[in-house]
Structure 1
Amino acid sequence: MTAVNLAIKKHWTVYFVPGIITLVALFFVYLSFGIATKWISVGLLIFAFLTVIFKIMNILYLASITWSFNGGELHIIKGVLPWNKTHIQIPIFDIYDSSVSSGFLGHYLNFGHISIRRTEGMTSHLSERYLGRAVCFSGIVNQYVQEYKKGQNSAKINHGQSSDDIGLELQRLVDFKKSGALTEEEFDLLKKKLIDSSP
């Protein structure tokens, strides 16, 4: 398959609520300067200021979440601060499949919740909610995983056929040698050629 380089992030809808809360908290910061009672003013200012800081960090964290796929590996990044950043790399041979659910709003606004199962028959999985273009991303991951599995199965089948063919040829050489059609030297020479040419 051709090379691919896909990257998806959180959908814009996830920023709506923390954005509104941040604006309301900033408004309370402004109001706190107009309150005559000192302790109420200071208390409101501290509460509103901490809310603004917390929500801005929340927005930055959401913005840092990135899922990317290059055809051979899924790479997930999370975290704002360099010492708190998480990198998860999953090679294609470790991905069993990808599933996505979107719901009514997700269908029309083009976002969804992705879940990656890592190996067949096990419950190990990674998931992320509210990712933009999730359906497209999940479909392409599944397409590449299926192509990889087909390639692996073909390689196993071809290798099995080659082994069977070599076995049959060796048996024929043994039969020729037993019947006297081949000398010991001719048998050894043909046997060596056959083994050297095997995959």
Structure 2
Amino acid sequence: MSEELIARKHWIVYVGPAFRLAVTAAIIWLLAQLAIANGLVDDPFLVQAFAAAMLAFTATTSLYRVLLLASVRWSATPQRVDLARGVLPWKKFRYGAPYAQLFDCWYEHTFLGWLLGYANVRIRLREGTTHEIQESYLARGRKLSDRINHGIEGALPHR
């Protein structure tokens, strides 16, 4: 265990925001065209401006979601584990600990997760069995979990 292993969100998590943005944009465009074609509004420019504003809001929230997903970073070095997530300064999460402070780490995945190579990873801290940190849809989650458990075993006092 000589180099840093970094795990980030799997590409599958980006499909949802992209799909929602595409569907929402299509619905907004369709409703605006129907309102204009059926003469439900006096000023077509007003409908188009409102549709553009709704689309801009939807695109902004989708972009924020993608940035939030892209900010997730779990890394395991030979000495410690570092976890990071967050875009906005007041909502960022950072945690780092040497292996001696960790109790165990495990992963779980569904059939699709096994097929595509992502897993849900949980780290349980030595502070208590109820204190754990988890992240879903991590690419290389199994490898990360194995690396962390190897580091925990190396940090245990030998008897």
Question: Is TM (by shorter chain) over 0.5?
Answer: yes
Residue aligned with 1:10, SS = coil
Q: Choose which of 93, 96, 104 in structure 1 pairs with 2:103.
A: 96
Report the CA distance between 1:103 and its aligned residue.
1.2
Alignment-derived partner of residue 145 in structure 2: 138
Query: Looking at CA atoms only, which structure, 1 or 2, has the larger radius of gyration?
Result: 1
Report what 1:23 is aligned to: 22
AA partner of residue 76 (structure 2)? F
Larger RCO of the pair (alpha carbons < 8 Å, separation 6+): 2
Deviations 1:17-51 (A, max 9, x none): 10112233444566677563345444433222211
Q: What is aligned with 1:180? A: none
- 1:153 to 2:158 alignment: yes
Output aligned runs, 1:1-199, within 5 Å: 2-27=1-26, 36=36, 37=41, 38=43, 40-82=47-89, 84-119=91-126, 121-149=128-156, 152-154=157-159
Identity %: 26
TM-score by length of 1: 0.67
SS of structure 2 residue aligned to 1:87 = strand
TM-score (norm 2): 0.83
Greater strand content = 2
Structure-2 separation of matches of 1:121 and 1:87: 19
Q: How many residues align?
A: 151
Cα RMSD of the aligned pairs, angstroms, is: 2.3
Compute the displacement of 1:79 (Å).
Answer: 1.3
Equivalents in 1 of 2:88, 2:31: separation in Å? Answer: 31
**Contact 2:32 2:47 survives alignment (8 Å):** no
Gaps of 5+ in 2: none
Distance between the aligned counterparts of 1:120 and 1:80, measured in 2? 28
Q: In 2, Cα distance between the equivalents of 1:120 and 1:49?
A: 45
